[in-house]
Structure 1
Amino acid sequence: MKTLRSKFRSAALALSASGVLLSAVSSLPARADEISGDQPLIVAAADCYSIGQQVAAQNGGTLAKASSATRGGQAVCVIVVLVPGKDGERPRRSEFVVPQN
């Protein structure tokens, strides 16, 4: 009986998640010409990822995380780079905040 209840709970959670996803997708415009000037088109994740790749290459490390944020009313990218340690030590975690252009 307990496993049936947990499976029912999982199914209910999946149905509610799909309903939220469908409601978010249905609010998006179907064609590019339906986008008006008052609806911002956000491509921040791809921009921050490419900025993160550049920052990682400049510092000789690997990109661990790239996310967009707002700091002081300005859109920025928060970049986390893992820089290899010296003499076989653990990599250092370096965080960079770069303005998003």
Structure 2
Amino acid sequence: MLAVGYAHGQESSAGPTVLLAQGDSDCYAIGQRVAAERGGELARATAETQGGQTVCRIVILVPGGEGERPRRAEVIVPAG
């Protein structure tokens, strides 16, 4: 099950920075896949526990249309 939220995001001139904590390599791979599926760039991928299960909190930047700023999309998916 996916939980998705949108808010206006900001992008630096150097592009987004991907932040990973130790043990988040699986979430990084999942984040890369989610970003590719949505046509965006991975900004962050972190593992956390929700309801006793490990999930990945993925933040991607989705390009805006006609010169608009990218949108920030946050997706929570099961880890693994």
Do Structure 1 and Structure 2 share a fold, with TM-score over 0.5? yes
Q: Which runs of at least 4 in structure 1 moved beyond 3 Å after TM superposition?
A: none
Question: Unaligned regions of 5+ residues in structure 2, if any?
Answer: 1-21
Matched, 1:93 2:56: no
Question: Unaligned regions of 5+ residues in structure 1, if any?
Answer: 1-42
CA-atom RMSD, angstroms?
A: 1.1
The aligned counterpart of 1:82 is 61
User: Partner amino acid for 1:51?
Assistant: I
CA deviation vs aligned residue, 1:42-68 (integer Å, no higher than 9, x gap): x74110000000000000000000000
Greater helix content: 1
Matched, 1:45 2:24: yes
TM-score (norm 2): 0.71
Greater strand content: 2
Counterpart CA distance in 1 for 2:74 and 2:61 is 9
Number of aligned residues: 59
Indicate the structure (1 or 2) with the bigger Cα radius of gyration: 1
TM-score (norm 1): 0.56
CA deviation vs aligned residue, 1:42-100 (integer Å, no higher than 9, x gap): x7411000000000000000000000000111000000000000111000000000001
SS of structure 2 residue aligned to 1:97: strand
